[in-house]
Amino acid sequence: MSKRLGAVAAVLLAAGSVAGAQTNTFSSGTSYTSPSITGFATTSSQMAGMLVSWRFTGSATVFSSAWGNLAGDFFGVSGSNGFRLRMGTGTSTFVTDWELRNSSTQSLDFIQMRGAPGRTLFDCGWTGTACVQNGQTTGGGLEGTISSADGWSHQRTGGTFTGTVLGAYSNSVGIGTNPDVGDLFESLLITFQGGMGAGKTYEFRADTDSSLPTADIPTPTVPEPSTYLLMVTGLVGLFSLRRKLKA
């Protein structure tokens, strides 16, 4: 099942290779069940309410804000501290880049998107047995969970930040009577190794689907800073281990 007819070729060209390493991990975490997917062509406005959290390097404070309507025909989050994550109003997450900008005077450690409050599920690209590391499914049209259509794993597509980026999907989701197969997730954490410096930008692709409201996927609270630190440290360690094994 294809999500966007006639758009894939243009997207593949736009998502060409960009400097800097980027990899993803996929963890079941806390498994949830949602009654059904109400839309796999999810737009920026349909994610309203999604919880976005971020932290600057050297700080114990984790900031958090709900995804919503911004000025200039955009939806997203714009913090008074110089953080901004946005996407054009009405644009689809399958074919449109997320735009992250750090206009502060500090480096940015990570961002995390928790989809539950906005009825949002993160849909990775699917090979038929597992999520692909970057971008769309290699074969195209492989949907994983029934009715979820094809997905797009977190993928760097542009921006001025050229350092290492680690993506971590967690909290897998099953739909109705269809079991959790490992392609739908409630959370996406993106970590910038060494920090994303002041004035830098990061553009990426990450597909989402829309879900019916459900009591089984609770509205998340902002974790303690120590919890985030453990998550980020673990991701950095995993990436370093992979590099050593490849050497």
> What residue spans define the domains of the chain?
19-246
Please give the model's pTM, rounded to 2 decimal places: 0.82
Per-residue model confidence (pLDDT) at position 151: 93
- For the cut 80, the answer to whether the pLDDT of residue 225 exceeds it is no
> Tokens in use for 61?
């404070």
Query: Which neighbouring-strand residues pair with 84?
Result: 78, 101
CA distance 231 to 190: 11
Render pLDDT for 30-69 as a digit per residue (tens, 0 to 9): 888 888 888 888 999 999 999 999 999 999 999 999 999 9
Question: Within the chain, where are the H helices?
Answer: 8-14, 225-246
